[in-house]
Amino acid sequence: MHTPLFATVALAIAFPLVFTACGDASATNTSKSETPVAQPAANPAPANPVAPVAQQPAVKKPTLPPKIDGVQVQAYFSGEPAAPASDNKVTAEKVALGKLLFHEKSLSRNDNLSCASCHSLSNYGVDNKATSEGSDGQRGGRNTPTVINASRQFVQFWDGRAATIEDQAIGPVLNPIEHGLKDEAALVAKMKAKPSLVAAFALAFPGEAEPVSASNFQKAVGAFSRTLVTKSPFDEYLDGKQSALTTEQKWGLKTFIEVGCTECHTTRLVGGHMYQKLGTKQAYATKDEGRFLITKDEKDKFVFKVPSLLNVEKTAPYMHDGSVATLEEMVKIMARVQANKEIKDEEVASIVAFLKSLTGPVQAGLSMQ
Ligand code: HEC
Ligand code: HEC
C-alpha cells in the first residue's frame, strides 16, 4: 500500500519503461544507456607512449537517482506471498515456549543440537555453511535457509514439501541427519524429562489434559517462528520513504527489474511465493532434482521454491546446495541461467547494492547461544 505522498512522487516520475521481465534473449538492457557509466573513450594512440594514461576506474558511482516507474515497483513488490491460513493463535506464552524449544539441545539424539545450531538467530537464522552437521555429524545435501521471515512464504523447504511453518517444525526433529529422534514418542519423552519445559507447556496450553505433545511442540515452535520477521530499508521505500534507498540502490532496483529478476523474485519477500526451474533459459548442472523428489512429475525436475531474498546479504553461501560462495557470483549465474543475459560487473555491483537494501535488523534479544 502506498501513501499519497509516494503515489504523487511515483506518478510524477513514472515514464514508459519497457519491462523486459520475460528474459527474452533479444531484449536489450536499457539500463546500459541510462546508467551514467564512464564509457571507455575511443582515444587515438596517446601522443606520449612512455606515459600511458592511468586506467580510469570502470564505474563512476551514479550521483543522480534513476527514473523508476513507481507504479510498476508497487505492482511487483507490494503484496505478501499467499501463505496458507493458520489457526495457530500466536500468544506470548506459546512464543516463550517456542523460543525455549528452538534452543533446546536435549531434543536431539545426542543432546548436542538445537534448531539454533543451524539457524542461529544472532546470525540472520543461518550458519553460513554450505551444508550443516546433524546430531551425529552427518551432512545433508541441502543448504540451510534462514528461519527469519520463513513463515511468510507460500510453502516451506526448498522443495515445498511442508505447507506451513507448523507442519515444517516436526521435520528436523525426526530427520535422521538432523536432530535424529526416532519418533514423536521419543520427542515427548525428551520434553517431559525437563521440568522447565513441562511448566512452559502448561502455561502455553492452559486447560489441556496433555499439554506436552508433539502437536503442541509444532504449535509453539510455529508461533515463535511467526515472530521472526524483519523490516528493511526497501520495506520503508515501498511504504513511501524515498530516502530509504541510496541512489546506488535505486539504480540497482532498476537494473534488477530490467534484467528480468522480477520475472520470479517479487512480493515483499522478493521470492518465497512460487516454484521455478533452476535453469529456465540455460541449463545449470545440479544433482538435486528438487520438487521432482516429492511429486515424481517430470515437469518438476530441478524445480525449486524461488527463495526470498530478504537478508540475502547475510545468508551466504547460496543455492539449494550451498555451492555458490558470493552474492556477486550468484547474481551473475541467475542472470545467465534464469534470464539469459550476460551482465557486466557494474550491473552485478548495482544489483548487489539493491539486494543489501533488503537487510533488516533481527529483533533484539533473540540470541540465546
Ligand atoms: C542440522 C541442521 C538443521 C537443524 C538442527 C534444523 N534445521 Fe531447519 N533446515 C535445515 C535445512 C538443511 C533446511 C532445508 C531442507 C530442505 O529444504 O530440504 C531447513 C529448513 C528449515 C525451514 C524452511 C525454511 C524455508 O525457507 O523453506 C524452517 C522454517 C526450519 N528449517 C526451521 C527449523 C526448526 C524450527 C528447527 C528445530 C526444530 C530446525 N529447522 C532444525 C537445517 C537444519
Ligand atoms: C525464472 C525464475 C528466476 C529468475 C528470472 C531469477 N531467479 Fe533468482 N532464483 C530462482 C530460483 C528457482 C532460485 C533457487 C535456485 C536453487 O537454489 O536451486 C533462485 C535463487 C536466487 C538467489 C540465491 C538465494 C539463496 O538464498 O540461495 C539469488 C541471490 C537470486 N536468485 C537472485 C536473482 C537475481 C539477482 C536475478 C536477476 C539477475 C534472479 N535471481 C532471477 C529463480 C529465478
Instruction: Please tell me what DSSP assigns to residue 133.
Output: B
Interior angle at CA 37, CA 332 and CA 43, nearest 5: 115
Which ligand is located closest to the Cα atom of residue 146? 1
Report the atom number in ligand 1 closest to the C-alpha of 117. 5
Cα 91-92-97 angle, rounded to 5 deg: 100
Domain residues for the domain of 177 are 92-226
pLDDT at residue 63, as a whole number:
84
Give tens-digit pLDDT for 308-339. 999 999 999 999 999 999 999 999 999 999 99
Indicate the helix (H) or strand (E) that contains 12: helix 4-13
Residue 292, classed as helix, strand or coil, is helix
Which residue, of 203, 226, 249, is where some domain finishes? 226
Is the residue at 275 inside a domain? Answer: yes
| pLDDT at 362 (0 to 100) | 80
Assigned domain for 49 exists: no
The residue to mutate among 108, 114, 147, 312, having the most atoms of ligand 1 within 8 angstroms of its beta carbon, is: 147
pLDDT digits (tens, 9 = 90+) for 1-36: 333 333 333 333 333 333 322 223 333 333 333 333
Return the residue whose CA atom lies nearest to atom 1 of ligand 2: 338
Phi/psi for 109 (5° steps) reads: -55, -45
**Any atom of ligand 1 within 6 Å of the Cβ of 119:** yes
Tell me, using a 6 A CB cutoff, whether residue 270 lines ligand 2. no
- What distance in angstroms lies between residue 256's CA and the mean position of ligand 1's atoms? 29
Q: How far is the CA of 127 from the centre of ligand 2 (A)?
A: 20
- Across 274-281, average pLDDT: 95
| Same-domain check for residues 213 and 100 | yes
Helix or strand holding residue 276 (H, E): strand 275-277
Q: How far apart (Å, rounded) are the C-alpha atoms in residues 304 and 275?
A: 5
Task: Please tell me the distance from the alpha carbon of residue 41 to that of residue 119, in angstroms, as a whole number.
Answer: 50
Burial degree of 242 (CB within 10 A; 0-12, 13-18, 19+): middle
Q: Is the CB of 113 under 6 A from ligand 2?
A: no
- Total domain count for the chain? 2
Ligand 1 atom nearest the C-alpha of 179 is: 5
pLDDT (tens digit, 9 = 90+) per residue, 162-194?
Answer: 999 999 999 999 999 999 999 999 999 999 999
Write the CA distances from 111 to 99, 108, 256, 354, integer angstroms.
17, 5, 45, 41
Q: In 10 A of CB 21, how many CB atoms?
A: 19
pLDDT in tens, 221-243: 999 999 999 999 999 999 999 99
Q: Distance, CA 64 to ligand 2 centroid (Å)?
A: 28
Per the model's pLDDT, the better-predicted residue between 366 and 299 turns out to be: 299
**Structure pTM?**
0.85
Note whether residue 367 is domain-resident: no
Q: Indicate if ligand 1 lies below 6 Å from the C-beta of 226.
A: no
Q: Which ligand lies nearest to the CA atom of residue 337 in the structure?
A: 2
Amino acid identity for residue 92 in this structure:
A
List CB contacts of 295: < 8 A, sequence separation 6 or more: none
Collect all residues with Cβ–Cβ distance below 8 Å to 307 and sequence separation of at least 6. 145, 158, 271, 272
The response to whether residue 300 sits with its C-beta less than 6 Å from ligand 1 reads no
Specify if 361 maps to a domain.
Answer: no
Is 38 a residue whose pLDDT tops 90? no
Q: Let me know if 342 is a catalytic residue.
A: no
Domain C-terminal end among 211, 226, 241: 226
Using a 6 Å cutoff on CB, does residue 237 contact ligand 2? no
Residue 207 in any domain: the answer is yes
